[in-house]
């Protein structure tokens, strides 16, 4: 059986990675600041996901 926490973390990381791949494709239409903001927000989301699973 898979560890639910590991699976959920992998799915979350995969989702974030896919978002960044899409952003990379349309990067010409985005400013560097917007990209940086998204990078920071994804790190915050990652920490919130970790905290959520620590509580369970």
Name the residue range of residue 32's domain.
4-55
- 0.85 exceeded by pTM: no
Question: 6-48 pLDDT, tens per residue?
Answer: 888 888 889 999 998 887 777 766 666 777 888 899 899 889 8
Supply the pLDDT for residue 43. 92
Distance, first Cα to last Cα, the chain: 18
Q: SS3 for 1-56, per residue?
A: CCCHHHHHHHHHHHHHHHHHHHHHHCHHHCCHHHHHHHHHHHHHHHHHHHHHHHHC
Q: Which of 2, 8, 13 is nearest to 56 (CA)?
A: 8
Supply the pLDDT for residue 23. 77
- Whether residue 4 is predicted with pLDDT greater than 80 in this model: the reply is yes
How many domains would you assign to the chain? Answer: 1
């Amino acid at each position: 059986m898979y560890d639910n926490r590991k699976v959920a973390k992998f799915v979350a990381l995969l989702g974030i990675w896919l978002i960044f791949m899409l952003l990379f494709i349309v990067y010409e239409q985005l400013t560097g600041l917007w990209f940086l903001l998204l990078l920071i927000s994804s790190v915050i989301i990652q920490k919130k996901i970790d905290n959520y699973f620590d509580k369970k």
